[in-house]
Every structure is written in C-alpha cells, then in structure tokens.
A and B are shown apart, each in its own frame.
Chain A
C-alpha cells in the first residue's frame, strides 16, 4: 500500500511535469513542419505531411530575408555587449572587492538599484537622441551593457572574494602595476565565472525584446525577437511559418543550454543567492 502510494505519487508528479513542460515544445515542432491547412486547425496532432525545408525557405525569404538580417544584427549586438560586459564588470568587481572606502556603500546602493529598478524609458530615448545613438546598433549595445552591468558585477565580485589577497601582494612585490595585476594575474583566474557570465548574458541579451522595441525601432535594424513579434501579425493565417520562426529563434538558446547547462544553472542560482 505505502509502496503504491510512494511510487504512484512521484510517477504522477513526473508525468504531470513532463506533460506541462514538454508538450508545448513538441507542439511548436509539430506546427513548424505542418502544411498551412493542417496548422490552421491549431490542434496537437501528428503532421500528416512534413514540410520542413519548404517552411524553412519561406520563413527565411519573408520580407526580403529579414530573418537573416535580424540574425546578423542580434549576433553583433549580443557578442559586442557581452564582451564589453565581461571586461568592464570584471574590473569593477575587482576594484570593489579589493578596496573598501567611504564610497563603497554608495556603489553597493547603485548596483542594487540597477538590479531592481526599471529604466526610465522616454528620458533615455531623449538623451540617446541628443547623443546621436538612438536607433543605432552601438546605442543598443551600450544600453544592454548599462542594464546588465549590476548582475555581472555581483557575480564577479563574489568570485574575486575567493581569490586570496596574498596573490595580489606577491604580484605587487614582483613589481606589477594595476593593469598588469588585473590582466595577467586576476583575469586568468576568473575563467569559471567568466564562462557563467558569458553564457547567462548571451541568452538574456539574445532573448531581449523590450530594449530593442524601445531603442532600436525600424525595420533595417530589427533583432530576431522584433522580427518574430512582427511576423505574429503578418502570418496570422500561416501558423506553420510562424512556428517555424519560433523554432529557429529557440534553437540557439537550446544549443547554448546543451553545452553549458551546468554553468547556466550554477551561475543563475549563485548570483541570485549571494546577490
């Protein structure tokens, strides 16, 4: 009796979580390979015929290869902002962890504010217009760096706290200057946390929808998330193409996840708990 109760319960729990979390993804895949008529029924059924290549080509060609442009834009934005984030936040985390002065509490306050507070959108747009970086790719890169800085700094600072200060002392006695101390002694030791920051921020910035919507409007600079959003109104009758688009945009995070599963989970939970 208790055996049935024990295993029956966990079997049921497993079955429910499988259905709840897996079925929507299978639904996306099924819809993406159906023909237009079958996808219009919106039901969860095995595709009667497979149109993988056909749907793929149609989605790619839609609106003058907009998805390709969007992929290039998103890649450029993601790679540049993550590179900047890693170097700048590692420097901040390093100095903040090693040097405690009267302004440390203020910096802590600003880091917390950056983590919690929503950005003031319209004043930011006005400011970017004055600086001439509104509607530009590099403008959005700087925005992504500013908005994601806090989280990265916290991760780096927590990790640097585990590196013994004696190491710095030794480097200093050997005549290291601040920059060589950072780049040649500290940075090489930050590899695990750097991988975490890279992976977590890549996924976050690649999936970002709100900031491109505000700061990078217009077709020529569309990002993948904006493209998907625009396709939603364009493909109202062609669900197969809409879902092929979703599938194509879901694949990069899936690949990243398969390779860096451990770092993502560790990074997200560690940063959250200690932060």
Chain B
C-alpha cells in the first residue's frame, strides 16, 4: 500500500518540482549577463573564424581562404612568435610550479615574520604590470642597471638581459615569474594547510625525516593545488601581452615576439585579417595544449 502510493505520488511530484524550479529560478534572470557576454565575447569569437580567412584592411575585406594561416607558418618572424609563445608558457609555468611550491613549503613552516613574508611574496601580483615592466627594464639595463652593476661587484660580467637576441624572451619570462609566483604560492599554501596535521604527527612518531614527510605526505596531497597552478600559469603564459609589450615590444628584432604581441602589431599596421588569424592561432594553441591538459589533470584528481 505504502509503496504503491509512493510510486503513484512520485511521478507528478517530480514534474511539480521541475515546474517550481522553472518558476522560482527563471531563465530571464540570466538574460542581461548572457547578452553582454554573448554579444561582446562569443559573437566576435565566432566571426573571427570567418575574418581570419580574409585579407581585411581598413577599407575592404576579401576572402582568401587559408592564406593568412599559411603566412603564419612561412614568414620566419610570425613562426618564431608561435615558438616563442610555447617556450614562454613552458618556462614560466614550470618555474612557477617549482618555485611556488618551494616558497609555500617555506612559508607554512614555523618562521619569524611568516605573515609578513607571505604578503611580501604576494604583493607583486597586485601591482600594475606596466609599472613592473618599466621598473625591471631599468633594473636590467645592460651597462648601468642595478642587476648588472651588482653582478660586476662580485666579478661577473652581466649579460645584456633585454638587448641580447637569445636572452630577451627569457629575461621577460623571469620577470613574469617574479610577478606571478605569489599567486602560485598562495594556491599551494591553501592546499598545504588543508592537509590534516595528524599525518605529519603520525609520520614523525614513525621516524620520518622532513624530506620523507615532504615526499610522501605533502607532495601527493598538494596535487590538486599543483594542477591548478599548472593550468593557470600555462594559459596565462600563452596569453601574455602586457609585460612583453612594456619591456621589449617583441624586440630586439622579432626575437621576443609572442602571439599576443603579433596580434597587436598586425592590428596597428592595419592588417586586420592577419591579426585575426593570429588570434585564431592562439585559440587553437590553447585548445590543443591547455584543454587536454585540463582534462587530463582533472581526471587524475577524480580517479584518485
């Protein structure tokens, strides 16, 4: 009897819940947000797929198929930007993952002035990138900059950080790490402090060393935070524009150009089609490198 009524009542109840959901959480509440996002972000993203196939200048646009993309792989300076973007993303995210973890371990151990140090490491995240770029351009001046003058005092002949073709990209990458490692550190710290203290206590009773504790407790349990840091800094590295632009403008020559700076340069010179193609290449790069990375790392978290 009870089972039968429950079954009979269940079906209409379910649809009533749905109706009530629809009436209490109506879709029209989403419309303003969806309009702004759809018109100003999604729509241009979709039309960019068409514009990237055109020769498009101030005055007219003409359909030219895949010529813009072919140009990206044939012109050495465009191709180099593509390679530079990938190198930059790998170098900066790699350094942020490692240094961020080191700093987080340091800043979660009992220290004097620990909170102050945490703030100090995090503060560059909040500072104007343009300001950081200008400051480090001057600190990295090849002959009179503070960095090279300090190196000279201990007898090292400092390199031409931003004027050396082979080094400029890596110098900017170092500054990007300086600016962004604080965010990686706080994400790691949030992960580390959520590890139960019992684990460390139990392992200490069993005679584990600090290194063993790090290797077998901290490292495995901080993995979700580490994945977040990898994804965030990798995508940030692929998209970076402001720091490159204020420090080197892609120079010397085209040696530190990345996709985002190429997009801006082509836009400035009026090659709108080529600029948009650059944008599409950047989408594809992120889709090809970052999305699978995201899925792979998330799956690992779930199965564990």
B128 touches A (CB below 8 Å): yes
Interface-facing stretch out of A49-57, A58-66, A188-196, A264-272:
A264-272
B36 and A270 contacting across the interface, CB-CB below 8 Å: no
Chain B, Cβ-Cβ closest to A229:
B130
B33 and A120 contacting across the interface, CB-CB below 8 Å: no
B29 and A250 contacting across the interface, CB-CB below 8 Å: no
A14 and B29 contacting across the interface, CB-CB below 8 Å: no
- Give per-residue flags for B23-63: 1 if the beta carbon is below 8 A from chain A beta carbons, else 0: 11111011011101101111111011001000010000000
Q: How far is the CA of A266 from the CA of B239 in the complex (A)?
A: 25
Q: How far is the CA of A273 from the CA of B282 in the complex (A)?
A: 25
B26 and A178 contacting across the interface, CB-CB below 8 Å: yes
Number of interface residues of A (CB under 8 A): 83
Of residues 128 through 162 on chain B, the ones whose CB sits less than 8 Å from some CB of chain A are: 128-132, 134-136, 138-139, 141, 144-146, 149
* A-chain residues with CB within 8 Å of residue B124 when the two chains form the complex: 21
Interface-facing stretch out of B64-72, B73-81, B103-111, B200-208:
B103-111
* A-chain residues with CB within 8 Å of residue B145 when the two chains form the complex: 42
Of residues 83 through 105 on chain B, the ones whose CB sits less than 8 Å from some CB of chain A are: 103
A123 and B128 contacting across the interface, CB-CB below 8 Å: no
A45 to chain B, nearest CB (A): 10
CB within 8 A of A118: which of B112, B187, B239, B275? B239
B129 and A246 contacting across the interface, CB-CB below 8 Å: no
Q: How far is the CA of A114 from the CA of B283 in the complex (A)?
A: 12
B286 touches A (CB below 8 Å): yes
B242 and A210 contacting across the interface, CB-CB below 8 Å: yes
Interface-facing stretch out of B1-9, B113-121, B163-171, B212-220:
B113-121
* B-chain residues with CB within 8 Å of residue A161 when the two chains form the complex: none
A122 and B275 contacting across the interface, CB-CB below 8 Å: yes
A221 touches B (CB below 8 Å): no
**Size bracket, chain B contacts:** 35 or more
Q: Would you call the interface of chain B mostly helix, strand, loop, or mixed?
A: helix
A265 and B45 contacting across the interface, CB-CB below 8 Å: no
Chain B, Cβ-Cβ closest to A127:
B44
A98 and B21 contacting across the interface, CB-CB below 8 Å: yes
Q: How far is the CA of A4 from the CA of B34 in the complex (A)?
A: 60
Q: How far is the CA of A127 from the CA of B39 in the complex (A)?
A: 9
B254 touches A (CB below 8 Å): no
A44 to chain B, nearest CB (A): 5
B172 touches A (CB below 8 Å): no
Q: How far is the CA of A18 from the CA of B122 in the complex (A)?
A: 12
A208 to chain B, nearest CB (A): 9
* B-chain residues with CB within 8 Å of residue A44 when the two chains form the complex: 146
Q: How far is the CA of A4 from the CA of B104 in the complex (A)?
A: 22
B195 touches A (CB below 8 Å): no
* B-chain residues with CB within 8 Å of residue A272 when the two chains form the complex: 183, 187, 228, 232
* B-chain residues with CB within 8 Å of residue A13 when the two chains form the complex: 106
A14 and B279 contacting across the interface, CB-CB below 8 Å: no
B48 to chain A, nearest CB (A): 3
* A-chain residues with CB within 8 Å of residue B82 when the two chains form the complex: none
B22 and A149 contacting across the interface, CB-CB below 8 Å: no
- Give per-residue flags for B224-235: 1 if the beta carbon is below 8 A from chain A beta carbons, else 0: 110010001001
A269 and B51 contacting across the interface, CB-CB below 8 Å: no
* B-chain residues with CB within 8 Å of residue A99 when the two chains form the complex: 21-22, 25
Question: Given A27-B146, A149-B36, A209-B242, is A98 in contact with B129 using a C-beta cutoff of 8 Å?
Answer: no
A243 to chain B, nearest CB (A): 8
Q: How far is the CA of A272 from the CA of B214 in the complex (A)?
A: 23
CB within 8 A of B48: which of A41, A120, A224, A273? A120
- Between A116, A119, A228, A270, the greatest number of chain B beta carbons within 10 A of the residue's beta carbon is seen for A116
* B-chain residues with CB within 8 Å of residue A243 when the two chains form the complex: 135
B130 and A92 contacting across the interface, CB-CB below 8 Å: no
A225 and B128 contacting across the interface, CB-CB below 8 Å: yes
A126 to chain B, nearest CB (A): 8
A43 touches B (CB below 8 Å): yes
Of residues 235 through 286 on chain B, the ones whose CB sits less than 8 Å from some CB of chain A are: 235, 239, 241-242, 246, 260, 263-264, 267, 272, 275-276, 279-280, 282-283, 286
List 6 additional contacts besides A119-B45, A178-B26; criterion CB under 8 Å: A10-B111, A17-B117, A21-B123, A22-B120, A31-B138, A232-B246
Q: List 11 A-B contacts (CB under 8 A).
A: A28-B131, A43-B144, A114-B41, A118-B279, A120-B280, A168-B24, A172-B24, A178-B29, A209-B130, A250-B128, A254-B123
